[in-house]
């Protein structure tokens, strides 16, 4: 994962058509966002199903790093989790333990969609050992001070920089061109590359030039915008073209 370019996006709207449209657009993965949306666990399962059946990797960005929610989204068929506000090795280890079955973790065994409703538990048990991704979000300056410990937790497969929260924790919210913010992101990227951890960042606005730039910078796990920003941006761009013509 660390060396293969993977581009996904974010889903915050619960309608399955959104997931289907975005799945067919060509993304490698899609993340169902349960942190900053009103998506329920029932709706998350339906979105995971649509994404999965379309041949795209379904992730869930968690509400918080809690084993109960992790267990439920994994049983629903998520191929991995994106864990918010991981600031220490203990935070990372808690997420890994909740995803992995014993002896690698502490996840309780259930029979749901992921396990073929009980018909293919042994197959899933083998599959999950090699195919589940655990992405930690680096979105606080405290995490930047503990990168080696966080990335050193066995089972962590990648990271995602949360630009708004990271810049906010530094007292410069939204100032992504600030020298201190740029230095922090470079520190994260350098540490991850040294430890062979997939490097990720979320590009909020649907800007192809920024996507190209991030790829050139060496990021390999990139979230390209999100459903609501792509919808809003497209609407506004279309209307901007006719503003001068309206009387």
Residues known to be catalytic:
36
Cβ 220 vs Cβ 6: under 8 Å: yes
Q: Please report how the helices 41-53 and 67-75 are oriented relative to each other, as an axis angle in degrees rounded to 10.
A: 40
Distances from the Cα of 201 to the Cα of 2, 7, 87, 163, angstroms: 13, 10, 17, 8
Q: Distance between CA atoms of 168 and 47, rounded to whole angstroms?
A: 31
Cβ 88 vs Cβ 147: under 8 Å: no
How would you class 233 by CB atoms within 10 Å of its CB: exposed for 0-12, middle for 13-18, buried for 19 or more?
A: middle
Q: Distance between CA atoms of 129 and 101, rounded to whole angstroms?
A: 9
Beta strands in 71-156 (DSSP E): 80-83, 133-138
Handedness of CA 131, 27, 32, 93 (dihedral sign): positive
DSSP state at residue 118 = G
Cβ 105 vs Cβ 128: under 8 Å: no
C-beta atoms surrounding 27 within 10 Å: 19
């Amino acid at each position: 994962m660390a060396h293969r370019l993977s581009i996904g996006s974010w889903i915050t709207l619960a309608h399955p058509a959104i997931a289907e449209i975005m799945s067919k657009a060509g993304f490698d993965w899609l993340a169902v966002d349960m942190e900053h949306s009103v998506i329920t666990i029932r709706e998350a399962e339906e979105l995971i199903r649509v994404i999965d059946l379309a041949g795209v990797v379904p992730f869930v960005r968690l509400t918080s790093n809690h084993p109960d929610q992790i267990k439920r989204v994994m049983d629903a068929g998520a191929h991995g989790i994106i864990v918010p506000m991981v600031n220490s090795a203990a935070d990372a280890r808690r997420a890994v333990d909740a995803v992995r079955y014993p002896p690698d973790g502490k996840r309780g065994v259930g029979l749901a969609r992921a396990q073929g409703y009980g018909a293919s538990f042994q197959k899933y048990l083998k599959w999950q050992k090699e195919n589940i991704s655990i992405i930690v979000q680096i979105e606080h300056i405290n995490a930047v001070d503990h990168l080696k410990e966080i990335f050193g937790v066995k089972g962590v497969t990648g990271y995602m920089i949360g630009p708004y929260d990271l810049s906010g924790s530094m007292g410069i919210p939204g100032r992504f061109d600030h020298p201190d913010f740029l230095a922090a992101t470079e520190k994260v990227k350098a540490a991850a590359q040294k430890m062979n951890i997939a490097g990720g960042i979320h590009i909020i606005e649907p800007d192809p030039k920024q996507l190209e730039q991030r790829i050139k910078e060496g990021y390999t796990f990139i979230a390209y915008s999100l459903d609501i920003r792509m919808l809003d941006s497209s609407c506004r761009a279309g209307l901007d073209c006719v503003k001068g013509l309206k009387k």
